[in-house]
Amino acid sequence: DAGITQSPRYKITETGRQVTLMCHQTWSHSYMFWYRQDLGHGLRLIYYSAAADITDKGEVPDGYVVSRSKTENFPLTLESATRSQTSVYFCASSDPGLAGGLSHEQYFGPGTRLTVT
């Protein structure tokens, strides 16, 4: 199916373990984003990517690593998980090329609920 998917949808891991959250989109959007959603904070940007092999830090990047070797995939890795990284993670994509560059609308995946014990 077309769209943006995330896997796994739920994950429980232990402190100190490495975990990778996957994100895949079928629209060939150039921009992709990772957010975390926490009560009282709304959505905060972790990392973004403007194109394959181009990534940059967002508001809360510490403890996370991203890569983007292909346009459609944007995995997020927690190198050594901590309890403070327990959160719901959302991947999003957008393509300002649509609608004459004025759209800037983001399309979100269903989220991954991560619990670090």
Partner 1 sequence: AQSVTQLGSHVSVSEGALVLLRCNYSSSVPPYLFWYVQYPNQGLQLLLKYTSAATLVKGINGFEAEFKKSETSFHLTKPSAHMSDAAEYFCAVSRSSGGYQKVTFGIGTKLQVIP
Residues binding partner 1 (CB under 8 A): 4, 31, 33, 35, 40-45, 48, 50, 56, 90, 92, 94, 96, 102-111
Of 16, 4, 3, whose CA–CA distance to 116 is shortest?
Answer: 16
Min separation Cβ 89 and partner 1, Å: 11
Give whichever of 35 and 64 is closer to partner 1, judged by the CB atom.
35
Min separation Cβ 16 and partner 1, Å: 28
CB 35, CB 92: distance < 8 Å: yes
Give whichever of 61 and 96 is closer to partner 1, judged by the CB atom.
96
Q: Indicate the residue type of 86.
A: T
CB 39, CB 50: distance < 8 Å: no
